[in-house]
Amino acid sequence: MKTLEDPSTKDVVAIKRTISKTLRSRLRERGVTVASIARDTGTSRTAIRRVLDEDNTSITLHTMVRTAFSLGYRVRLVLEPSIEKIERVAPPVEVEPLMRELGESLDRLPMRR
């Protein structure tokens, strides 16, 4: 089960918060109603309210993108590389002299500017 501490859940919450805030702000600027957005996008007012509710992450990508589009935005998703974990590896005994040698070479290496 995903918890709030889970990094992916944190990402989802942060993304939704940003999108909802931005769209709500645009809605106010333009003076449009939830009902008119629902009409434009061919969906229900409840669905639009879910998009605008920053705590609600249960929306479809389709509804979110169409709502944003009707308010003059395009949504782009960028996938960034992620690091899941780092762990120590036990080196094979055979390479220990090489590891020692590399360590000593690194100690002698001056830092580049």
Binding site for other proteins (CB under 8 A): 79-96, 98-103, 105-112
Which residue lies nearer to other proteins by CB, 55 or 87? 87
Shortest distance in whole angstroms from residue 10 CB to other proteins:
14
Shortest distance in whole angstroms from residue 14 CB to other proteins:
16
Which residue lies nearer to other proteins by CB, 5 or 87? 87
Contacts of 23 (CB under 8 A, 6+ apart): 51, 52, 67, 68, 71, 73
Which residue lies nearer to other proteins by CB, 61 or 77? 77
* Closest residue by Cα to residue 68 from 45, 46, 40, 90: 40
Which residue lies nearer to other proteins by CB, 1 or 79? 79
Are the C-beta atoms of 57 and 12 separated by less than 8 Å? yes
Are the C-beta atoms of 73 and 30 separated by less than 8 Å? no
Q: Supply the DSSP symbol for 98.
A: H
Q: How far apart are CA 64 and CA 86, in angstroms?
A: 35
Shortest distance in whole angstroms from residue 97 CB to other proteins:
9
Shortest distance in whole angstroms from residue 4 CB to other proteins:
19
